Amino acid sequence: MSEIIVLKKGLDVPVKGSADLRVSKSMTPATVAVRPDDVKGLLPRLLVKEGDRVLCGSPVIADKKNPEILLTAPVSGSVKEIVRGEKRKLLAVLIEADDTQEFVDFGVSNPAALSADEVKAALLGSGLWPMLVQRPYGILADPAATPKAVFVSAFNSGPLAADTEFTLGSQVAFIQKGIEALARIAPVHVSLDASVKDSAFSRLTGCTLHLFRGKHPAGNVGVQISHISPIRKGETVWTLPLHGLAAIGKLFATGRYNVRRLVAVTGPAAIEPSYVETVPGTPVKCFAPFYGNTPELDRFISGDLLSGANVGEDGFLGWRDDQITIIHEGTEKEFIGWIRPLRWKQFSTDRSYFSWLTPWRKYDMTTNLHGGPRPFLMNDGYYAKVLPMDIYPVFLAKACLAGDIDKMEKFGIYEVLPEDLATCEFVDPSKIYIQDCIAKGIDLMLKEMA
């Protein structure tokens, strides 16, 4: 195991609503969605029609560019509805779940005895391949490529994030199996939280373990890669969430496609936040016991409140997400705003208020921006103090806004995804949507560099 990598920059957002370490509910929703938009880089081709019968693991959507890449059904049942948007864009396939689940049998195998091509074929055929994210750009991994390494973060430092020791500590055997499988393709690196004593994941073998200590985004795999083996032009790496690694292990150990996971229901607007066992594609309305009778006053986020997706009450749990965050919409205006002498209920990162006197306090935060967008603050160090990466976030964001590919390359576009700069967006006094800037820059790179 490597020495502890201490990150001195970062920010832990002190927000209320962390999930109690208990499972309050286990469910298979009546209807589950398979959404191609959850997988960046997938060009969907529909493989089923309304009324078709599917098993858990049956192909539902294929990639037009690479038909071997599949999205498969997370539950068994019948196809209830094909949801399309403008210009008949495929938005979702809704599956009405059976009371008793049936699975496709993919066969039990020992991944350590398989070749790289055989492991890839198993992941492609089962529908688990889309768990793999290729960097740079955060797109669907290319089966024809060989990455320099596979990186997995065994902890999440995001606001109110799920505790992986609680959710996956009992699945170490499956995670080990998943490591054995991916190690046939490329070296595997797993990053652990150095502050957790006797971590269940510290006994993993067949991979390189790294210890990180620091504030958010210390748990972001992109930040970890920048300290372990930075991505250079022409290089590719693959990443996947820890529960995805466990799902791969289950595939080889049981022969079943099983993406059930513990999901943390969190947020200052959540009622008795705790964990729910369910599948990706679960409708947000299934979490109704965790919010009140006025959902129009809340925002529902699949993921954490800094980098998650605003899916709304009619949305679904994301394909790779293990957290639902419920937060109040901040629509009210505050009288005389920032010039008020005392703002005990407001958090400030730069001692504008008195929150620095009570560092232990958690805040009932809302989505209120407390102001509108304005010109970029020119002091790059203001943002860099919460970003433990060797890049210039303001210059990178401006290069993305300008569409200057040369400068985007110069300032680190290959190393980041929008989530890596979420803390910069949170502290930004200019109210700039920095993550959107990075996302647009990445889209331009994909278009121009293809």
Sequence ranges of the domains in the chain: 4-15+110-254, 28-97, 262-342, 380-449
For domain 4-15+110-254, say whether CATH 3.40.50 is its number.
yes
Contact 121, 110 (CB under 8 A): no
Q: What is the mean pLDDT of residues 398-409?
A: 94
User: 322 pLDDT band (50/70/90 cuts)?
Assistant: very high
Which pLDDT score is estimated for 210?
97
Q: What is the mean pLDDT of residues 411-431?
A: 93
254-263, 308-317, 336-345: the lowest-pLDDT one: 336-345
Which pLDDT score is estimated for 337?
62
Q: What is the mean pLDDT of residues 17-38?
A: 96
Residue 213's CB is within 10 A of a number of other CB atoms, namely 14
- From residue 412, give the alpha-carbon distance in Å to each of 72, 252, 288, 388: 35, 37, 41, 13
User: 222 pLDDT band (50/70/90 cuts)?
Assistant: very high
> CATH number for the 28-97 domain, one of 3.40.47.10, 2.40.50.100, 3.40.50.970, 2.160.10.10?
2.40.50.100
* Rounded Cα gap, residues 6 and 213, in angstroms: 5
Q: What is the mean pLDDT of residues 190-209?
A: 95
What single letter denotes the amino acid at residue 201? F
Residue 37 has pLDDT above 90, yes or no: yes
3-7, 304-308, 339-343: the lowest-pLDDT one: 339-343
Q: What is the mean pLDDT of residues 170-179?
A: 98
User: 335 pLDDT band (50/70/90 cuts)?
Assistant: low
Residue 64 has pLDDT above 80, yes or no: yes
Which pLDDT score is estimated for 372?
74
Contacts of 450 (CB under 8 A, 6+ apart): none
Per cent of the chain over pLDDT 70 is 96
Q: What is the pLDDT of residues 264-293, one digit of tens each?
A: 999 999 999 999 999 999 999 999 999 988
What does the mean pLDDT of the chain come to?
93
Which pLDDT score is estimated for 354?
72
Which pLDDT score is estimated for 383?
86
Q: Which residues of 180-196 are buried (b: 16+ CB within 10 A; e: fewer)?
A: bbbbbbbebbbbbbbeb
Which pLDDT score is estimated for 346?
79
Highest mean pLDDT among 157-161, 338-342, 366-370: 157-161
Class level of CATH domain 262-342: alpha beta
Which pLDDT score is estimated for 349?
82
* Rounded Cα gap, residues 164 and 429, in angstroms: 33
Which pLDDT score is estimated for 378?
64
Residue 340's CB is within 10 A of a number of other CB atoms, namely 11
The number of residues making up the chain comes to 450
Q: What is the mean pLDDT of residues 338-363?
A: 75
* Rounded Cα gap, residues 134 and 140, in angstroms: 6
What single letter denotes the amino acid at residue 403? G
Which pLDDT score is estimated for 55?
98
Let me know if the fold of 4-15+110-254 is the same as that of 28-97: no
Contacts of 197 (CB under 8 A, 6+ apart): none
* Rounded Cα gap, residues 363 and 245, in angstroms: 34
